[in-house]
Amino acid sequence: MTGASRLWRPISRHVAIFLSVVLFGTCATVSAASATSKQPLWQEFRDGTAFAVMRHAIAPGTGDPGHFKINDCSTQRNLSAQGRAQARRAGELFRLNGLNKVLIYSSQWCRCRETAKLLAIGPVRDLASLNSFFEADRRRKKQTHQLKSWLQARVSRAPLLLVTHQVNISALIGSGTRSGEIVFIKPMRNGTYHVLSSSVP
């Protein structure tokens, strides 16, 4: 090994360490900036001027089996291990933003109830207007109207999260969602709903 080679090896290690520190510091700064930029969103959710709607976490398949029974999870599509992990990450997202107690309403479908429970940020209550109408599109208009009426009649300003299905969210805000996606929504005075932001844990 030449003298130049012996000299270069320790210098290379020091350069690599230096670059790693710079890169890590830059990433940390970007993450901190991103978190700070989203603070107004979380504050609106916290004070009740906005609410959140979440599509149930990953549950492989489409629709439900023909022998579906609402009170029998064995007859339904259910969360996979990946879906359960996704639901837990979603709960951690809320807790990281200082929300340990949230008012949660869920579809009566097992994959929604399980998603809501795994969040571990509050008791879960059923709300029938959040039930899927994927197999019965004739219920779309009626259920969406019922949900909007329920939202408009709310008096509580507690942080509110609704766990439901893609078709229900699409009917409410006019756009689709991915499994586990959380959409933050602000009700407007004219009765419409403005999407503030969305996140997939």
Q: From the first residue on, what is the mean pLDDT of each consecutive set of 10 residues in the chain (201 residues)?
A: 44 40 35 49 94 98 89 96 98 96 98 98 98 92 97 93 98 95 94 93 91
At residue 164, the pLDDT reads 98
C-beta pairs of 187-193 under 8 Å, 24+ apart in sequence:
187/50, 187/51, 187/151, 187/152, 191/148, 191/152
Q: Are residues 121 and 164 in the same domain?
A: yes
The residue segments making up the domain with residue 12 are 1-37
At residue 29, the pLDDT reads 32
Asked whether the whole model's pTM tops 0.95, one would answer no
What does the alpha-carbon distance between residue 155 and residue 102 come to, in Å, rounded to a whole number?
Answer: 15
- Tell me if 77 sits within 8 A of 111, measured CB to CB: yes
At residue 38, the pLDDT reads 59
At residue 136, the pLDDT reads 86
At residue 2, the pLDDT reads 47
Total structural domains in the chain? 2
At residue 191, the pLDDT reads 85
Rg for the chain, CA atoms, rounded? 22
Q: Are residues 93 and 141 in the same domain?
A: yes
